[in-house]
């Protein structure tokens, strides 16, 4: 039977291995997701939601945002030469 400390070490190793296998734009430091802001007034509009790659590989805004395009964008990280895993 494993001690609690051994179990903790095994779980940490499993998480690290899982992160190595999962390469999505979501985990990249160049990924941006903004939910936008509401209009402040009639004269001062808010900001629309957006989801994009800061390196310019893909960009979705309120006019082009579909689930299919989002999934395709996330998977681009698997072959992206600019992918850098985020520390956050």
- Where do we find the tokens 């179990």? 7
pLDDT 10s digits, 11-56: 676 666 666 667 888 889 999 988 888 888 888 888 877 888 999 9
Mean of pLDDT values over 6-14: 69
Q: Residue 50: inside a domain, yes or no?
A: yes
Q: Residue 2: inside a domain, yes or no?
A: no
Query: Per the structure, how many domains does the chain have?
Result: 1
pLDDT for 17: 67
Q: Residue 80: inside a domain, yes or no?
A: yes
Q: Residue 10: inside a domain, yes or no?
A: no
Burial 24-44 (b: 16+ CB within 10 A, else e): ebebbebbeeeeeeeeeeeee
Q: Residue 6: inside a domain, yes or no?
A: no
Sign of CA dihedral 15, 57, 46, 86: positive
Return the ∠ at Cα 73 (arms to 72 and 77), rounded to 5°. Answer: 105
Q: Are strands 31-34 and 50-53 parallel, antiparallel or unpaired?
A: antiparallel
Q: Residue 9: inside a domain, yes or no?
A: no
For residue 61, the enclosing domain spans 21-88
pLDDT 10s digits, 56-74: 998 887 676 788 888 888 8
Q: Residue 44: inside a domain, yes or no?
A: yes
Q: Residue 11: inside a domain, yes or no?
A: no
């Amino acid at each position: 039977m494993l001690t609690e400390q051994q179990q903790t070490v095994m779980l940490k190793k499993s998480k690290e291995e899982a992160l190595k296998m999962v390469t999505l734009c979501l985990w990249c430091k160049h990924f941006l997701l903004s939910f936008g802001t509401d209009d402040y007034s009639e004269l001062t509009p808010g900001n629309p939601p957006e989801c994009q790659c800061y390196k310019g590989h893909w960009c979705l805004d309120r006019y082009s945002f579909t689930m299919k395009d989002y999934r395709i964008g996330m998977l681009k990280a698997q072959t992206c030469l600019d992918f850098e895993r985020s520390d956050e």
